[in-house]
């Protein structure tokens, strides 16, 4: 089974590229983030024509997550159980579903904006709620993974120059401690070390030629429980999808499982 995660940064703007990538990469399951569309604008028909069922949680021009599957899709649960609210409501940042016996949660973790901002406290609260919500599946016998844009670089090696991020979000001790708590709940990173690239970054800012200069970050992660990670046979960042005209600022992360 091939499972992938991709922050598409607007599914409408990226639809031609998404459809081409689905054909070339042939994933069985895809977790999408940052859809930036209403429910009725999600391209369900176009995806179904290519063999993919969809479960979505949309909220208009911001946020939004989805799970696509060509191997069956059941027990979809939109939202983060017990998750915190921001600006008066829960944001569209998590969706869980089962695809051919594998349980997946697509997540778009809050950015945090800046240290000390209320959104940063919200980010930490959201990650703690994710830990609590993931614990039962993490401890279970069924393969389970949380995939998506975590907006946290797990280590200094996961940014091109940690000094460039001094005092900013994504690299703070508090955020990394929240990831460590998620691992302590029974999940582990499928990238314990680079498998196909020396620096498998997943995000590059559009500005200042960050992608050509490889000034990136690894913030799109796949955290699986023991039945999931033990089945991993390969994992890579599809940098080709970040190239060309009109790409997302994130690249897909692809994981191959032998179940």
pLDDT computed for residue 200 by the predictor: 85
Give which of 17, 2, 36, 4 is closest to 248, Cα–Cα. Answer: 17
Tens of pLDDT, residue by residue over 121-137, are 999 999 999 999 999 99
pLDDT computed for residue 198 by the predictor: 61
Percent of the chain past pLDDT 90, that is, above it, reads 95
pLDDT computed for residue 199 by the predictor: 63
Judge whether 151 and 111 are in contact, CB under 8 Å: yes
Domains, the chain, in order of start with CATH, read 2-257 (3.60.10.10)
> In whole angstroms, what is the distance from residue 12 CA to residue 156 CA?
34
The whole-number average pLDDT for the span 31-60 is 97
Report the SS3 class of residue 122.
Answer: helix
Judge whether 220 and 250 are in contact, CB under 8 Å: yes
- Residue with the two structure tokens 């399951």: 29
pLDDT computed for residue 155 by the predictor: 93
Q: What is the DSSP letter of 148?
A: E
User: Does the structure show a pLDDT above 60 at 196?
Assistant: no
User: Does the structure show a pLDDT above 80 at 60?
Assistant: yes
Give which of 133, 178, 125 is closest to 153, Cα–Cα. Answer: 178
Judge whether 108 and 96 are in contact, CB under 8 Å: no
The whole-number average pLDDT for the span 46-55 is 98
User: Does the structure show a pLDDT above 80 at 194?
Assistant: no
Angle at CA of residue 129, ends 128 and 130, nearest 5°:
90
252 — pLDDT class (breaks 50, 70, 90):
very high
Which two three-digit tokens encode residue 124?
Answer: 């930490």
Judge whether 74 and 97 are in contact, CB under 8 Å: yes
61: left (phi over 0), alpha (psi -120 to 50) or beta: alpha
Q: Cite the DSSP H helix spans in 98-186.
A: 118-138, 173-184
The whole-number average pLDDT for the span 53-71 is 96
> In whole angstroms, what is the distance from residue 149 CA to residue 124 CA?
15
pLDDT computed for residue 191 by the predictor: 86
Which two three-digit tokens encode residue 166?
Answer: 């001094």
Angle at CA of residue 238, ends 53 and 190, nearest 5°:
80
Taking residue 89's Cβ as centre, other Cβ atoms within 10 Å add up to: 8
């Amino acid at each position: 089974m091939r499972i992938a995660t991709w922050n598409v940064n607007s599914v409408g703007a990226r639809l031609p590229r998404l459809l081409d990538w689905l054909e070339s990469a042939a994933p069985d399951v895809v977790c999408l983030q940052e859809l930036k569309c209403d429910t009725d604008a999600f391209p369900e028909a176009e995806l179904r024509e290519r063999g993919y069922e969809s479960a979505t949680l949309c909220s208009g021009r911001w946020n939004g997550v989805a799970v696509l599957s060509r191997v069956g899709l059941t027990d979809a649960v939109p939202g983060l159980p017990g998750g915190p609210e921001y600006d008066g409501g829960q944001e569209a940042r998590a969706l869980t579903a089962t695809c051919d016996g594998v349980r997946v949660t697509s997540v778009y973790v809050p950015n945090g904006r800046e240290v000390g901002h209320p959104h940063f406290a919200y980010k930490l609260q959201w990650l703690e709620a994710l830990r609590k919500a993931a614990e039962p599946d993490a401890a279970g016998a069924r393969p389970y993974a949380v995939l998506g844009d975590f907006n946290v670089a797990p280590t200094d090696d996961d940014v091109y120059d940690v000094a460039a991020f001094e005092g900013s979000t994504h690299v703070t001790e508090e955020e990394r401690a929240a990831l460590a708590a998620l691992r302590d709940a029974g999940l582990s990173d499928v990238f314990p070390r680079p498998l196909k690239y020396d620096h498998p970054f997943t995000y590059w800012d559009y500005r200042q030629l960050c992608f050509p200069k490889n000034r990136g970050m690894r913030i799109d992660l796949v955290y699986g429980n023991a039945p999931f990670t033990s089945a991993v046979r390969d994992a890579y960042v599809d940098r080709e999808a970040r190239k060309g005209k009109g790409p997302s600022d994130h690249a897909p992360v692809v994981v191959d499982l032998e179940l």
